[in-house]
Chains A and B, each alone.
Chain A
């Protein structure tokens, strides 16, 4: 049976069923109450997927252990399988060889999903301004919260997690773009090439380094 679209509704793209019915709802009392409930549940039971590559992972372990205890925030269940995780927590520097790996792990996580970039190296390359290191994981996967520090103390990571909670509480199901899955092709960049080169301009002791782009 063919449904007649109501006047003013955006027609679905050719050959693809329209699944964005929620997106056509404008925010009202029902959606905001529902948002509150959903976001309360989501932000208080985030399951992290730890991607620990370096010393930041040690600080993450301290955060997860009893003194700092992230189970206070509903995160005690560390899922080492991306299909049962909500937060990808990249703790440590990311070499180029691991870039396709973290991309694949991110793609395997179901929506809704968030990413925390923990430490200076994950966020910007840090001291490793070399041929082997990704200069910030946001060139590979989208990042929600950056935690600075080398490595950050557990309090710093907890503050980052609380910031993520705050961000989640501001989300709404009336925004159709929020949870849309972006499909990467192999070799696709997460941000434009020009931006990557701008972000990783020479700094620190490598300012005299020649680069043949």
Chain B
């Protein structure tokens, strides 16, 4: 068992749920309310120093009773330690989590992928759009257990919708000039661009610069 779990229990008490070792990897469950505080502490506390977010993903189990889980795989390059933090999304609550982009910038596209595949919304994410599927994709969230393998629409309808999509509209704003953008982008993206919301992510952790 990773000694970090004991430090977490000392610092946060009942917010920390059960913990166990699976295939040599320590897994610890954290309550949704304190998630961002706990993760920030794990990164910035000098004794822990998990500065590297290896992966951020989600799990839905075949057992319908079990809630969806968001998984944070952390690594401390400094100490050579690994920790897997999990958070349960209860069945009767909306699928919403606090974004960890302010803590690790690497979480940006990882959270977009989780949103794309599972439909989990990340609060305060700077640019929560679909990542793998195209932006006008209407069939839902492909990695959910209730999603049929072949998709919801008929093949002909899928081909039609795919062909109706504009291939240039999927690129990020940086890759296109402003003149190209105006007509091609969906309305909400154009609004965000006009408000200048991109690129204004707060720099993570001013304190550990040195």
Contact = CB atoms under 8 A, between A and B. Distances in A.
Contacts of A209: 148-150
Interface string B145-179: 00111111111111111111111001000000000
A131 B149 CA distance: 6
Interface residues of A, number: 33
A189 to B, nearest CB: 6
Contacts of A131: 139, 142, 147-151, 158
Given A97-B134, A135-B155, A211-B154, A103 B163 contact: yes
Interface string A114-158: 000000000000000111101100011000000000000000000
A34 interface: no
A23 to B, nearest CB: 30
Interface stretch (A51-59, A75-83, A164-172, A194-202): A194-202
A156 B158 CA distance: 31
Contacts of B165: 97, 100
* Chain B interface size, under 10 / 10 to 19 / 20 to 34 / 35 or more: 20 to 34
Contacts of A197: 154-156
A101 B168 CA distance: 9
B167 A100 contact: yes
B133 interface: yes
Given A140-B163, A187-B163, A96 B149 contact: no
A194 B156 contact: yes
Contacts of A211: 148, 150, 154
Interface of A: 96-97, 99-101, 103-104, 129-132, 134-135, 139-140, 184, 186-189, 193-194, 196-197, 199-200, 202, 206, 209-213
